[in-house]
């Protein structure tokens, strides 16, 4: 659904990144513009993965970095139809001064990306790894707004 942000969580190594790389490759093959933003893997590692998945020939944009403000600037330039951000724990906001991985930083990243998604009419999938901090983040999110699922305009199934 256009303008929607989805959070996909799971254990490290459970196949989230592989699944979503295949998803954006399928969208790109169908004529949609797609951007895969990686804060965990280098461009070379992503190239190896796309080759292994036999999607290396797909016109897919890749952004590699850890600054959410830089990512949003790249998204503004590219204006993709679909975005995958892998993962929210490894991004931070330079302007916020928050270190990556903390609950406040994750909320900041999710809020900023959800706001961009709503205004761009794209679809965005945020990847999160299930860790002790994310488990705490989930329980905090249920009590207070501002988390990935509680960002204004985000949708829950």
pLDDT digits (tens, 9 = 90+) for 48-87: 999 999 998 999 899 999 999 999 999 999 999 999 999 8
**Block residue for tokens 């903390």:** 102
Whether this model's pTM surpasses 0.85: no
Q: Is residue 135 very low, low, confident or very high in pLDDT (cuts 50, 70, 90)?
A: low
Q: What is the pLDDT of residue 79?
A: 97
Separation in Å, CA 49 to CA 9, 55, 137: 20, 9, 30
The residue that leads in pLDDT, 84 or 40, is: 84
Q: Is residue 96 very low, low, confident or very high in pLDDT (cuts 50, 70, 90)?
A: low
Spell out the domains of the chain, with CATH numbers in brackets.
4-150 (3.40.50.300)
Check pLDDT > 50 for residue 101: yes
């Amino acid at each position: 659904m256009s303008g929607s942000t989805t959070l996909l969580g799971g254990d490290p190594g459970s196949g989230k990144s592989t699944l979503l790389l295949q998803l954006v490759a399928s969208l790109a093959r169908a004529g949609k513009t797609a951007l895969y933003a990686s804060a965990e893997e280098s461009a070379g590692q992503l190239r190896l993965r796309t080759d292994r998945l036999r999607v290396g020939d797909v016109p897919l944009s890749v952004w590699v970095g850890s600054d959410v403000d830089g990512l949003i600037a790249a998204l503004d330039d590219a204006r993709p139809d679909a975005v995958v951000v892998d993962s929210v724990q490894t991004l931070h906001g330079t302007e916020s001064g928050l270190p990556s991985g903390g609950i406040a930083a994750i909320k900041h990243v999710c809020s900023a990306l959800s706001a961009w998604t709503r205004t761009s009419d794209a679809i965005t999938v945020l990847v999160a790894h299930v860790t002790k901090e994310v488990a705490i983040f989930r329980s905090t999110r249920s009590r207070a707004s501002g988390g990935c699922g509680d960002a204004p305009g985000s949708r829950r199934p």
